[in-house]
Chains A and B, each alone.
Chain A
């Protein structure tokens, strides 16, 4: 039946039969689809009592070196799985495997961040055992990864002493969403104009309640305290019996 005039037969008249316009109210988060995948990722991890951390920073802050040192420090006590995100190459995944953890490399091509859909597919390559740690090393970028929930339990932002103590103010979205900030490359403090106390002040201007670690992934400073905190994350959750 024609919804314009109610007729069944148009042989005796003509009119425009365009479908009427509909205004459909959605009031939905633009990232609804990503968040759906993120929720699924988190549920999968929770079912295994696994804890996931999403590592974000600018390129070159030392994320991969920190993960290598972390794996060395923890692998005897905890199973660790790592998802590596880079535009190209599997260089970082190879470094992680050499350090002793299972790794899967995601190459994002032109995309500047990981998203939950990519990470979910990454999880399919692991047989995630109960009570394990899952590290997601995001693409080096201080802007775009800030808004994409990957399904992690903790967001860890790295800043290195070679970057400038004003970074948190310049890139507030990233630091606002960080549960933990690691200030890395503290071994270089004698050689750079980096005011670590000012940096901490600036971080707290963006997010007043945040856990801060100071590390040198190169020489090991602060790594024990960092690994102790990570180890407790798994120990403190209810253990799943296989």
Chain B
């Protein structure tokens, strides 16, 4: 697994590093020694590969306060609202049109978020 570090590090690794930094900032503020659990909320249209994130998380966490942290990811389905007919629909793929009127003029109303929902520390 660690041999993969010789290869290109994709953005999921960068995201893990960001999660670690934010969690360690909270630990510093709360005088906590360890992060036990990390809960993320990630939309299906956030541009994040969940499996890649799960893969890189323990690798990135080695030697940090999150070295033994368990990762939980709540996946949020993407929804869109058609700007023409105002229909709301499940956005399964980015390039799908409004299923009611066929327009591609739509706003994505949710499913692009990448949040740290909460962490458990001690």
A interface, CB within 8 angstroms of B: 18-34, 110-113, 115, 143-144, 146-148, 168-169, 172-173, 176, 202, 204-206, 208-209
Q: Given that A21-B122, A110-B8, A146-B47 are known contacts, is A29 also in contact with B97, CB under 8 Å in the complex?
A: no
Q: Given that A22-B122, A146-B47, A205-B95 are known contacts, is A112 also in contact with B116, CB under 8 Å in the complex?
A: no
B104: A residues at CB distance < 8 A: 204-205, 208
Tell me the smallest distance from the CB of A31 to a CB of chain B, in Å.
6
| Chain B 64-122 interface residues, beta-carbon cutoff 8 Å to A | 83, 93-95, 97, 104-106, 113-122
Partner of B22, one of A23, A26, A111: A26
User: What residue of chain B has the Cβ atom nearest to residue A147's Cβ?
Assistant: B47
Q: Please tell me if the beta carbons of A169 and B9 are within 8 angstroms of each other in the complex.
A: no
Tell me the smallest distance from the CB of A118 to a CB of chain B, in Å.
11
B47: A residues at CB distance < 8 A: 143, 146-147, 173
A34: B residues at CB distance < 8 A: 18
B61 sits at the interface (CB 8 A): no
Q: Given that A24-B26, A204-B104 are known contacts, is A19 also in contact with B116, CB under 8 Å in the complex?
A: no
Docked CA distance A23–B32 (Å): 11
Q: Can you list 10 residue pairs at the A/B interface with Cβ under 8 Å?
A: A20-B122, A22-B120, A24-B120, A24-B121, A25-B117, A29-B113, A33-B18, A112-B10, A147-B47, A205-B104
Partner of A111, one of B9, B83, B105, B116: B9
Q: Please tell me if the beta carbons of B14 and A27 are within 8 angstroms of each other in the complex.
A: no
B11 sits at the interface (CB 8 A): yes
Q: Please tell me if the beta carbons of A115 and B14 are within 8 angstroms of each other in the complex.
A: yes
Q: Please tell me if the beta carbons of A27 and B115 are within 8 angstroms of each other in the complex.
A: yes
Which range contains the number of B residues in contact with the other chain? Answer: 35 or more
| Chain B 9-49 interface residues, beta-carbon cutoff 8 Å to A | 9-11, 14-15, 18-19, 21-22, 26, 30, 32-33, 36, 40, 46-48
Partner of A26, one of B9, B26, B106: B26
Q: Please tell me if the beta carbons of A28 and B94 are within 8 angstroms of each other in the complex.
A: no
Q: Please tell me if the beta carbons of B18 and A173 are within 8 angstroms of each other in the complex.
A: no
B117: A residues at CB distance < 8 A: 25-27
Docked CA distance A7–B89 (Å): 59
Docked CA distance A29–B14 (Å): 14
User: What residue of chain B has the Cβ atom nearest to residue A168's Cβ?
Assistant: B95
Docked CA distance A32–B94 (Å): 24
User: What residue of chain A has the Cβ atom nearest to residue B12's Cβ?
Assistant: A144
A22: B residues at CB distance < 8 A: 30, 32, 120-122
Q: Please tell me if the beta carbons of B14 and A28 are within 8 angstroms of each other in the complex.
A: no
Q: Please tell me if the beta carbons of B36 and A21 are within 8 angstroms of each other in the complex.
A: yes
Q: Please tell me if the beta carbons of A112 and B9 are within 8 angstroms of each other in the complex.
A: yes
User: What residue of chain A has the Cβ atom nearest to residue B106's Cβ?
Assistant: A208
Tell me the smallest distance from the CB of B19 to a CB of chain A, in Å.
6
Docked CA distance A209–B36 (Å): 44
Known: A26-B116, A112-B9. 19 other contacts (CB 8 A): A21-B120, A21-B121, A21-B122, A22-B120, A26-B26, A26-B115, A27-B117, A29-B113, A30-B116, A31-B18, A110-B8, A110-B9, A111-B14, A144-B14, A147-B46, A147-B47, A168-B95, A202-B95, A205-B95
